[in-house]
Structure 1
Amino acid sequence: MRRILDVIYTCGAGLAALFILGICLLVAAQVFLNLIDRLLLLSGFDAVGLSIPSYADFTGFFLAASSFLALAYTKREGGHIRVTLMLHQLNAKWRHIFEIATLVIGGAVTIYFAFYTGRLVWDSFVYEDLSSGIISVPLWIPQFSMLLGLIILAISFIDDVVCVLMGASPSYHGKGEEALLEKEEAPTTMFEGE
């Protein structure tokens, strides 16, 4: 089961990376087309008006998809900002209780958002909502990537709650900012012999 869950989180991050690559390619292509138009103007010709239709809409859709699809992987790798000032002041028992409480609350909020995003996707599908750009895109398609990202994040929260209840550490412990703090707190010397 652990391997399946890790594959789900990694696939979400991989899809997010592909959408970021798509943003880069679209923007680079549009910049190149703008450059051609500018060179035509400087050469004394009329600008052709080269443009990728609805490229701003597509980059916005890709940005939303990459942001939501990367949430679970980023959480598991310790990339989200966590305020741990209070947790470090508690003893181990209370720290464990607060860790469970924050994971349960985070999971509940994520499930709530996933539920209502699912309703939004369904409504957009049923009412055939379209984007307002030059190329009309059914809105349920970009909204579905948001829903998928929220579902994966909810699974990640549930996964961490189960791990913590079974006595293990959550996935993000010792990663991200915590790992950096541990390195800073470790005594360092200039010379190995000291």
Structure 2
Amino acid sequence: MRRGLDLLYLAGGVAAAAAISLICLVVTAQVCLNILARIGGPGYSFTIPSYADFAGFLLAAASFLALAPTLRAGVHIRVNLLTSRLGSRASWALELLVLVMASALAGYACFYAINLTWESWDFGDMSTGMVAIPLWIPQLAMDAGLALLTIALLDTLVESLRAGHAIIADAGEA
């Protein structure tokens, strides 16, 4: 089970990295086309239709798909001002409370994001750019990222309960 979950988180991280790479590719291609237009004049003025929309969709995908692997790697931004002053039992209790609340909130967001995606598919919602994309397609990445985050939070909660102490640490502390 542990290996399967770790592979799932890794897949989310790889997908997020691929989305970032695609953003770089699309933006670099458009910059090269802009340079070509400057050098060659108006006859060489080309643009990638809806490239800003594609970059935005990919950024949303990367942001949501990276949530679970960064949580599990301990690289989310944390404020340790309070937890560093607590004893080990109080720190563990606070971690459990936060994990329960975060799991509930992520599950809630996941449920409603999936409902939004379903409605976008059902109503045939399309993006407004030059290239009309069905909105449910980029929304699927958000759904997958929120589902992965919910699973990762529940996984971390169970792991912390089994360990009997706080297990979340900043990557810099490990």
Q: CA RMSD in A?
A: 1.4
- Given the alignment of the two structures, is residue 57 of structure 1 paired with residue 57 of structure 2, yes or no? no
TM-score where L is the length of structure 1: 0.85
Partner of 1:33: 33
1:110 CA displacement: 0.6
1:88 CA displacement: 2.0
- Given the alignment of the two structures, is residue 87 of structure 1 paired with residue 66 of structure 2, yes or no? no
Structure 1: stretches of 5+ with no match in the other structure: 180-194
Partner of 1:154: 150
Deviations 1:117-147 (A, max 9, x none): 0111000000000000111000000011001
**Structure 2 residue corresponding to 1:136, chosen from 121, 132, 140:** 132
Structure 1 pair 58/95, CA: closer, same or farther in 2 (3 Å)? same
AA in 1 matched with 2:147: I
**Kept after mapping to 1: 8 A contact 2:16/2:63:** yes
Structure 1 pair 133/169, CA: closer, same or farther in 2 (3 Å)? farther
SS in structure 2 of the partner of residue 177 of structure 1: coil
1:176 CA displacement: 1.8
Deviations 1:66-116 (A, max 9, x none): 010000111111111112221222222211111100111111111111111
Partner of 1:121: 117
Partner of 2:18: 18
Structure 2: stretches of 5+ with no match in the other structure: none
Structure 1 pair 106/162, CA: closer, same or farther in 2 (3 Å)? same
SS in structure 2 of the partner of residue 80 of structure 1: coil
Please identify the structure whose Cα radius of gyration is greater: 1
Distance in 1 (alpha carbons) for counterparts of 2:167 and 2:22: 29
1:49 CA displacement: 2.5
**Kept after mapping to 1: 8 A contact 2:102/2:153:** yes
- Given the alignment of the two structures, is residue 178 of structure 1 paired with residue 159 of structure 2, yes or no? no
**Kept after mapping to 2: 8 A contact 1:130/1:138:** yes
Partner of 1:107: 103
SS in structure 1 of the partner of residue 107 of structure 2: helix
TM-score where L is the length of structure 2: 0.95
**Kept after mapping to 2: 8 A contact 1:160/1:170:** no
Partner of 1:8: 8
Aligned residues: 174
More helix by share: 2
Structure 1 pair 74/37, CA: closer, same or farther in 2 (3 Å)? same
**Kept after mapping to 2: 8 A contact 1:77/1:172:** no
1:171 CA displacement: 5.9
**Structure 2 residue corresponding to 1:68, chosen from 54, 60, 64:** 64
Moved more, 161-170 or 46-55: 161-170
**Kept after mapping to 2: 8 A contact 1:38/1:47:** no
Moved more, 146-155 or 91-100: 91-100
